[in-house]
Amino acid sequence: MKKLQILGTGCAKCQALTHNAETAAKALGLPYELEKVTELSAIMKFGVMSTPALAVDGVVKSQGRLLTADQIKVLLF
Amino acid sequence: MNPLEAALAPPLTRPIKRHVWGGVAALIVWWLVYGRLEALAHWLTYSLMGLTVGSHLAGAVEFFIYEVPKVLMLLTAVVFGVGIVRSFFTPERTRRILSGRRESVGNVLGALLGIVTPFCSCSAVPLFIGFVTTGVPLGVTFSFLISAPMVNEVALVLLFGLFGWKVAALYLSTGLVIAILAGWVLGKLHLEKHVEAWVYATKTGVADADEKLDWVLRIDLGLEAVRDIVGRVWLYVLIGIAVGAGIHGYVPENFMASIMGKGAWWSVPLAVLIGVPMYSNAAGIIPIVQALLGKGAALGTVLAFMMSVIALSLPEAIILRKVLKPRLIATFFGIVALGIMFVGFLFNALL
């Protein structure tokens, strides 16, 4: 089970990143759970300063970028 | 190859060669087209459309047909370049550089890094918290937060394209000076108690590692920046230049001299007062401002108006209200506005 977390306070880019992450996980056939982290204090705990950010299994993989589904696939190992 | 590897293959095997050749070809085409824009606009206006030389309409049309592709092409090239430069400066790295700096040196560095660090006003709050909770002094953080929106590539390209390199350089240097000095003054005022209390109580983690980037990825980041920024501002450029073209063709010479000319001392504070709450990106405002300048407005006044529109805005104040108490926001806006006014007066007096 992969744990995907989308960090962001709810901007349009965060929505798009959430969608792309789900697309990527589904395309790879990975079992996953997805969580949206919208609390600022929770986002800061990750040390993330530019949103949206993507964390996989608790590790920040990308910040400040709207990744495409293909770019996310690479990060899901 | 198992299915997982097969799924991953395309993004991992993009060869650098394709990027390089594509880039060289794009650069040659860009250069060939860019050099011919003026002649093309002239031909379209007078030969193809048959407009009368010297008429209001012809002036406006030629201006529009020439400036729109010129500015958009410049913008594409510069945004791409800046996108690649920015792939070297993550907010993470900038924070490490600024953390624990003394003020003064820190203010200078903060203002400079504000230019090259990727920044979006939507991330201003997490960035602010990340900076001040990990040892970046408040004043240094402000220097960064002032220069990041004010000195940006879109503004510089438009200034360069429409006014020439001198005004662009003037804007860049005075923008930096304002960011450095305003941040330094704000630091000296010791306003930490006017930051919302929970901010300093926030536990900020350290993101695990910077993403590993190779050149293929950096070029992709440049292209992403072009899609994102040019995709967002092209319409404003179009509208701004259309309004500018209208002013250019129809408003009589020296019409602006009485309102925004050098003679009217109150024009600088008024321009700043109107500009501060306004929120428009540089792309929309600069072409209009350029046309006003041609009708007798003074450069200092115009520069002050532009800076106050770009650097400060009501939405920004609302975003920052999450982390700053009203008095600190007011002080922050007040000091930056004063700095901008000073620049306005200075250039009206010198030029």
Q: What is the pLDDT of residues B268-307, one digit of tens each?
A: 898 888 888 877 777 788 888 888 888 888 889 988 988 9
pLDDT at B110 over 50: yes
Q: Which of B125, B203, B207 sits opposite A63 (nearest CB)?
A: B207
- Work out the minimum CA distance from B122 to partner chain A, whole angstroms: 8
Q: Quick: pLDDT tens for B239-259.
A: 989 988 888 778 877 777 777
Write out pLDDT tens, residues A5-64: 999 887 788 889 999 999 999 998 889 999 999 888 888 888 888 888 999 998 888 888
Predicted pLDDT at B343: 92
d(CA A31, CA A22) in angstroms, rounded, equals: 10
Its domain, for residue B162, covers 16-203+218-350
Percentage of chain B exceeding pLDDT 90: 32
pLDDT (0 to 100) of residue B302: 87
pLDDT at B206 over 70: yes
* Position B208 confidence tier, pLDDT thresholds 50, 70, 90: low
Q: What is B306-330 written as a DSSP string?
A: HHHHHH--HHHHHHHTTTB-HHHHH
Exposure string for B265-299, b = 16+ CB within 10 A, e = fewer: eebbbbbbeebbeeeebbbbbbbbbbbbbebbbbb
The partner residue sitting opposite B126, judged by closest CB among A27, A29, A49, is A49
Q: Find the length of chain A.
A: 77
Catalytic position from the list A7, A14, A54, A76: A14
Q: Can you say how many angstroms the Cα of residue B260 is from the centroid of all Cα atoms in its chain?
A: 23
Average pLDDT over residues B199-211: 75
Q: Which chain B residues touch A43 with a CB distance below 8 Å?
A: 126
* Chain B residues within an 8 Å CB radius of A46: 205, 207
Record: contact A64-B91, CB cut-off 8 A? yes
The pLDDT value recorded for residue B178 is 96
pLDDT for res A12: 82
B55 lies in some domain: yes
Catalytic-residue membership of A61:
no
Residue B12 has pLDDT above 60, yes or no: no
CB contact under 8 A, A40 and B123: no
Q: Which of A50, A62, A65, A72 is most worth mutating to test chain B (most B CB atoms within 10 A of its CB)?
A: A50
At B145-191, the pLDDT tens digits run 999 988 888 888 888 888 889 889 999 999 999 999 999 999 999 99
Q: ipTM score of the complex?
A: 0.85
A20 is catalytic: no
* Domain total in chain B: 1
**Which has more pLDDT, B325 or B22?**
B325
Torsion of CA B148, B149, B150, B155, to 10 degrees: 110
- CATH number at A7 reads 3.40.30.10
Whether B14 shows a pLDDT value over 60: the answer reads no
Q: How far is A31 from chain B (nearest CA, A)?
A: 13
Q: Do A73 and B129 touch (CB under 8 A)?
A: no
Q: Of B53-57, B95-99, B140-144, give the lowest mean pLDDT range.
A: B53-57
Name the percent of chain B lying above pLDDT 70.
Answer: 94
pLDDT category of residue B112 using cuts at 50, 70 and 90? very high
B contact residues 319-348, partner A, Cβ 8 Å cutoff: 322
Residues 6+ apart with CB under 8 A from B106: B98, B136, B137, B139, B140, B143
- Chain B interface disruption, residue of A9, A40, A43, A49, most B CBs within 10 A: A49
The SS3 assignment for A60 reads strand
Domain that holds residue A25: 2-75
Dihedrals φ, ψ of B189, to 5°?
-75, -5
- What pLDDT, on the 0 to 100 scale, is given for residue B1? 43
Q: Which residues of chain A make contact with B12, given a CB cutoff of 8 A? A: 74
Q: Mean pLDDT over all residues of chain A?
A: 88
Contacts of A51 in chain B (CB under 8 A): 122-123, 126
Number of separate domains in chain A: 1
Q: CA nearest B343: which of B288, B248, B275?
A: B275
Catalytic residue among A3, A9, A10, A11: A11
Cα dist from B229 to A10, B91, B234, whole Å = 20, 19, 8
